[in-house]
Structure 1
């Protein structure tokens, strides 16, 4: 097993080549050992997770971020029930790129709205550190995908105070 791990690390063998070798010969002892190591790792993590409350909170907060992100994506793609309409790779990539752009735009607008709200004097000391950690720009309650969209050319978003990278 160490020989194969070293070959992968030094890039003298590719993962695909090793997998090809093991799938043709599933009785190989190194393959059986790797399966056992994988089983052990999958057993150790839940045991550690059950014992460590900080790890549970970290895992839950990470899952919440991902669920918010996926929820916003599903909400934006409402017209196709969240499914990719084509089996053409280029069209799928274009659709996903457009979705990422829309999610980024939604995140930017929501971030600007949150910043404007938190800049108000009544919010100065209202939030704790835990409240601030819970803030996310990935919400869609301000979106109306089924409703009428009005283009307001007489008003503009204030983008002058955007942070520079």
Structure 2
């Protein structure tokens, strides 16, 4: 139940415009809004997962984790996201994410 509530609160946070309502009566526009929300959800979870993996790849942090801590890990957090700000996208730069498989 907590996971579903957390996911819904993340959806409300991401899809904040027009109070989270679909502003159009056109099916195509509603579908486009839903697909954009799904893309943002997937991107958020992916980046958060990579950040968690990077932190836990350090032995200092991994050794501090108990079984209960590992069981409680979730990529559904969004406090580091600013939905109101300006984001500069530079397609010539990549996020610094190390190859964790190496």
Matched, 1:138 2:72: no
Return the alpha-carbon distance in structure 1 between the equivalents of residues 70 and 87 of structure 2. 31
Q: Which runs of 5+ in 2 are unaligned?
A: none
Greater helix share, structure number? 1
Distance 2:18 2:98 in 1: 33
Q: Which has the higher Rg, Structure 1 or Structure 2?
A: 1
Who is 1:156 aligned against? Answer: 95
Aligned Cα root-mean-square deviation (Å): 1.9
In 2, distance between residues paired with 1:90 and 1:159?
39
For residues 25-73 of structure 1, the C-alpha deviation after alignment (integer angstroms, 9 at most, x for no partner) is: xxxxxxxxxxxxxxxxxxxxxxxxxxxxxxxxxxxxxx11111111111
Change in 2 beyond 3 A, CA 1:140/1:85: same
Could you state the TM-score of these two structures normalised by the residue count of structure 2?
Answer: 0.84
Q: 2:46 aligns with which of 102, 108, 112?
A: 108
Deviation (angstroms), 1:149: 1.6
128-137 or 151-160, which deviates more: 151-160
2:32 is the alignment partner of 1:94: yes
SS in 2 for 1:149: coil
Q: Give the paired residue count.
A: 100
Partner of 1:44: none
- Work out the CA distance in 2 between the residues paired with 1:74 and 1:82: 6
Equivalent-residue separation in structure 1 for 2:93 and 2:33 (angstroms): 31
CA distance in 1, matches of 2:96, 2:75: 16
Higher relative contact order (CA 8 A, sep 6+): 2
Q: Deviations over 1:52-105 (max 9, x none)?
A: xxxxxxxxxxx1111111111111111221111112222212211110111000
Gaps in structure 1 of 5+ consecutive residues: 1-62
